[in-house]
Amino acid sequence: MSDNSVKTANDVAENFEPKILVFACNWCTYAGADLAGTSRLQYPPNVRILRVPCSCRVNPQFVIRAFQRGIDGVLVAGCHPGDCHYTTGNYYTRRRFLLINRMMEYMGIDPKRFHTRWISGAEGPKFQQVVTEMIEEVRAIGPNRKLRDDMKVTVNTDDIVASVEADTKVVADNV
């Protein structure tokens, strides 16, 4: 490796600003993020928030697609267990994403790139803390290079999602 290429790799690492995508449930975490904003709590601008009706609305394919599109870390956040607006939605979220976490490890994606958290509408400071810690964690492990469309790596996401959904059903049937 030439000096130039070493320098370029170091420059990339030094200047790396992770892109974090947050799927926030409308009833709790989105309100918590809003509270963080209105309370003027500072967190890095690397975060993009997508509002969803409930954390269980997040199909695992959305997460995989985010990594394919160059996102470096994904957070799925919703109401605390027992507080879901739809009663049991976040229990499905928890089961589903335990499985997808294992699946991502299998695909070679560092599990630090994906988290689920419960953040209520009153927890603006918690939202600030969770996203700030996640950005630091992802910054430390570097850019996402797996699955990215621009890296020309192809994955059959339909197979992955079908497999995760089948596993989720097995777990749900046994709870």
Interface residue list for ligand FES (CB under 6 A)? 25, 27-28, 54-55, 78-79, 84-86, 89-90
Within 10 angstroms of residue 113's Cβ, the number of other Cβ atoms is: 23
**C-beta of 68 vs 90, nearer to ligand FES:** 90
| Residue with nearest beta carbon to ligand FES | 78
Distance CA 25, CA 117 (A): 11
> What distances in angstroms separate CA 57 from CA 82, 115, 124, one per listed residue?
17, 16, 22
**C-beta of 22 vs 109, nearer to ligand FES:** 22
**C-beta of 71 vs 76, nearer to ligand FES:** 76
For the CB of residue 23, give the shortest distance to ligand FES in the complex, in Å: 10
**C-beta of 16 vs 86, nearer to ligand FES:** 86
For the CB of residue 130, give the shortest distance to ligand FES in the complex, in Å: 15
For the CB of residue 63, give the shortest distance to ligand FES in the complex, in Å: 16
**C-beta of 79 vs 138, nearer to ligand FES:** 79
- CA-closest candidate to residue 100, choices 157, 28, 25, 46: 157
| Sequence-ordered list of residues with C-beta below 8 angstroms from that of 128, at least 6 positions apart, any chain | 36, 41, 42, 43
> What is the SS3 string spanning 30-75?
HHHHHHHHHCCCCCCCCEEEEEECCHHHCCHHHHHHHHHCCCCEEE
For the CB of residue 39, give the shortest distance to ligand FES in the complex, in Å: 21
> What distances in angstroms separate CA 49 from CA 16, 34, 36, 110, one per listed residue?
20, 10, 13, 21
For the CB of residue 136, give the shortest distance to ligand FES in the complex, in Å: 25
